[in-house]
Amino acid sequence: MAKTINADELKKNREQYILIDVREQEELLGGNIDDSIHLPLGQLIRKVRKTEKDEFSPDERHRLFLVLTKQVDVEKSLGKKICTYCSFGYRGNLAAEELVKSELKVDIVNLEGGFASWENQNGNGTKTY
């Protein structure tokens, strides 16, 4: 099981994290956390597995993963932790476990309770209608 972070703690330390939303496209209609990267679980797993070749060091894997997720500023992102989230926490946990297994050179956590917990804490989510 991957490490978790609760919504309150994430809000206090938001600038330390790259947020990856692993929900499906239609789930985004209910909102998302501002500045998160949308990467559905299946896509995340495929991208992570592209980095798992023996010739990549953990640092190179981390850089490659950021490029594959279309992270705009890779250099700024290197010092940040990764936080995955879904609707309620299960798929976010699977994503975090997949990232941990890939040995990226970064701390990885899952948002406990997912987007629902973020909304319950009156987060700065964005609704799309």
Q: Please indicate, yes or no, if residue 126 is contained in any of the structural domains.
A: no
Q: Please indicate, yes or no, if residue 124 is contained in any of the structural domains.
A: no
Q: What is the pLDDT of residue 123?
A: 58
- With contact defined as beta carbons under 8 Å apart, do 119 and 55 qualify? no
Q: List, in order, residues 6 or more apart from 95 with CB less than 8 Å away.
A: 20, 22, 41, 44, 45, 84, 86, 110
Q: Which two tokens stand for residue 49?
A: 């597995």
First-to-last alpha carbon distance for the chain, in angstroms, is 34
Q: What is the pLDDT of residues 2-31, one digit of tens each?
A: 899 999 999 999 999 999 999 999 999 999
* Full domain range(s) for residue 12: 3-119
Q: Please indicate, yes or no, if residue 42 is contained in any of the structural domains.
A: yes
Q: Is the pLDDT of residue 125 over 70?
A: no
Q: Please indicate, yes or no, if residue 24 is contained in any of the structural domains.
A: yes
Q: What is the pLDDT of residue 48?
A: 86
Q: Please indicate, yes or no, if residue 13 is contained in any of the structural domains.
A: yes
Give me the number of domains the chain comprises: 1
Please give the average per-residue pLDDT across 112-126, as a whole number: 83
Q: What is the pLDDT of residue 72?
A: 57
Q: Is the pLDDT of residue 129 over 50?
A: no
Please give the average per-residue pLDDT across 33-52, as a whole number: 89
Q: Is the pLDDT of residue 127 over 80?
A: no
What CATH number is attached to the domain comprising 30?
Answer: 3.40.250.10
Q: Please indicate, yes or no, if residue 55 is contained in any of the structural domains.
A: yes
Q: Please indicate, yes or no, if residue 63 is contained in any of the structural domains.
A: yes
Q: What is the pLDDT of residues 43-67, one digit of tens each?
A: 999 888 888 776 788 888 888 888 8
pTM score, whole prediction: 0.85
Q: What is the pLDDT of residues 63-104, one digit of tens each?
A: 888 887 776 577 778 889 999 999 999 999 999 999 998 888
